[in-house]
Amino acid sequence: MTNDLTVASGGLLTHSSNTVVELNKQKLNLSGSLTIESEGKIDVTGKGHSVRQGPGIGVQYYGGGYGGRGGAIHAGSEEGICYGSLVDPQHLGTGGYSAPGGGAIILEISGTFQNNGVVCADGGSAVNYAGSGGSINIRAGKFIGTGDFSANGGKVTNGGPGGGGRIALTIMDNGNDFSNIGPVFAKRSEVGSGGSAGTIYLRLPGQNINEGKLIIDNNGKEGSGTTINEFVTDTSVGDVELINSACLFLEEDQVLEVSGIWSNSASFIAEPNSAIIFNNNRGTDSIIYGSTSFMGLICTNAGKNIYFEANLIQTIKEYGRLILNGTPGEPVTLYSSREHTAWALAIDPLAEQAVSHCRIQDSIASDAEGTAINSEDKGRNVNWRFLTVIPGETNTWTGAVSSFWSDRDNWSLDRAPNEDNFVLIPSGCPHNPELDAPRSIGGILIEQGADLALNSHNLIVTRDASIRGLLKADNFETITFTTNACFAGGTFIPALSTIKLSGTQDREFNGADLTFYKLEIEDSTAPLLFTGGFTATEFRCTEEVENVAMYFGAGITIYTRDFIMLGSDTMPNISLHGKESGSNWNLVATGLRWVRGANVRDSNASDGMSILAALSTDSGNSRRWNFDS
């Protein structure tokens, strides 16, 4: 639409109600300016998902969730859950048990958006169990006016308020900011227990989609948590501000990436294996304001500068992760926000520390001694030790005190291994090791009689691996080998894990006729030789661009249910050859057989089902392969 548009006093712009499916939203693309006069409204209150409908429903009696959780007060009830994008909200709000959710306002205004009235996507209200707020997503040249922007959870008289919705406001014209707009709210109801604030996301001119400020503001009311879970998307932002009794809840295995400021004057809850990750390019600054208990505090961006508010304590929780890694010549800087004034870091003794190539100043470590590898002590640090580590150095497991991988007292080098260490796990130790977090190490030998439990955590091995003892998975772990890996003499308990073979140099894999769940070839740009057979539920390689060369030792047998080799559809780029021309290798596939873009030689598939190979080449001596498909 090309024109200026005015919503006059008493005027209303809205959309029709929704039920189960997201059909109706207030969308407008305007080449011009939009003015809402006093007493004018763009209002989609209660126009979202109908009662008990939407992605944010709970269990039994509940307020709807979206940006924030919906409230639930009865035994056996569960709060409405969070979902949708932090930075580009498009969804309708979810209906609570008794009221619908808020609708969606999505506007693109090339000129000025002057709001002296109301822009509202609140949830529907009820005596109990209201709907969640909806979406307000507006891009405009600039914003002015005194009117409200509101995506609040629906109000209740008693309990079960709706969770707040999501708001994103973006300024497109240079030289403008948010200093001339009215209040912006995405809170829960003033009344009732449970429920939580939604999210507000503000972007200034020139900021990319993930460079704005995320604000969580519950207007002074205690709530159950604005949750980042598997249903919440676009979790990379510029700044984070937690204010006015807000509570940000980071569920297990979830991360929030922050490139700028972390400011916590409210509450933060972090579940196991979650993390706040400070990213962005070298030379950029991040500042941590307020005291926060982190389950994971991570920065692996070389040259990044992180400043910690002076006189305050940051905490790394039990079984948490402190991972701060620069590179030689481009360290990560860890300084106080005020030089010569200390910042404190309380590190639980059972937390993982992986601090390397950092520049540290004015830091007081407590609870556990801080350990920094190949890092610079810039002065006035207390309870830190600075160690020099030589790549390839062997760190031997002693198991002196526990099975806990991160406990330095369990290792010969008085510290847990880093990614450069070769790890030796001998037999006869008082305790066998268990991973406590995802790990990357520079090679491993598990001796006969010894064992390593992955404990649901991934493992990356960047140099040679020899498994002569027991390697035990118990879930969906991924074990990545980038060079040689040999299981000869060893035992493997696969559970539902994946063995991933990748690498850029010639290497060998000996499965020693053991059973694996999934075996996958990925990012493999150098020849890979299989020197022993194996059994797998799935043997897979998917590579449509690069050439992948696999060679198989004479007489070995690969047993697999599913055999999936998906290469280029223009020229065969996955080679499946005997080690030497004329030396057969055996393939027994009994389930899904999906092959494309393969070059096959010396493969005997006679004991399994026939292999249909599309757009592939027979380079000779292959049996029960069909290259005409």
For 516-545, write each residue's pLDDT tens digit.
999 999 988 899 999 999 999 999 999 998
Q: 208: closest CA among 166, 253, 257?
A: 257
Around Cβ 4, how many Cβ atoms within 10 Å?
Answer: 14
DSSP state of 92: P
Overall average pLDDT of the 496-507 stretch:
96
Overall average pLDDT of the 479-495 stretch:
98
The radius of gyration of the chain's CA atoms, rounded to the nearest angstrom, is 29
Supply angle C-alpha 145, 146, 149, rounded to 5: 95
Neighbouring-strand partners of residue 535: 515, 559
Q: How far is CA 107 from CA 42, 167, 334, 547, in A?
A: 11, 12, 41, 47
> Above 80 in pLDDT, residue 419?
yes
The band of 629, judged by pLDDT with boundaries at 50, 70 and 90, is low
For 151-182, the DSSP string reads -PPPPBSSS-PPPP-EEEEEE-STT--STT--
d(CA 384, CA 347): 11
d(CA 164, CA 219): 11
d(CA 450, CA 444): 12
pLDDT score of 224: 80
Interval 100-157: pLDDT, tens: 999 999 999 999 999 999 999 999 999 999 999 999 999 999 999 999 999 999 999 9
φ/ψ bin of 244: left (φ > 0), alpha (ψ from -120 to 50), beta (otherwise): left
Q: 394: closest CA among 466, 461, 445?
A: 445
> Above 90 in pLDDT, residue 220?
no
Extended strands (E) in 231-378: 232-233, 236-237, 239-243, 247-250, 255-258, 261-264, 267-270, 275-278, 285-289, 293-299, 305-308, 313-325, 332-336, 343-347, 352-356, 358-360, 363-366, 370-373, 376-377
Q: Token pair of 516, please? A: 């694996």
The band of 159, judged by pLDDT with boundaries at 50, 70 and 90, is confident
Q: 186: closest CA among 165, 203, 155?
A: 165
> Above 70 in pLDDT, residue 31?
yes
d(CA 205, CA 170): 8
CB 611 within 8 A of CB 618: no
Q: Token pair of 390, please? A: 């030589």
CB 553 within 8 A of CB 576: no
Q: In terms of C-beta density within 10 A (0-12 exposed, 13-18 middle, 19 or more buried), how is residue 550 classed?
A: buried
Overall average pLDDT of the 19-25 stretch:
95
Percent of the chain with pLDDT over 70: 100
What pTM was computed for the model? 0.85
Give the three-state DSSP class for 410. Answer: helix
Residue 31, Cα to own-chain centre: how many angstroms? 37
Interval 91-105: pLDDT, tens: 999 999 999 999 999
> Above 70 in pLDDT, residue 225?
yes
Interval 59-79: pLDDT, tens: 888 999 999 999 887 766 788
> Residue type for 444, please?
I
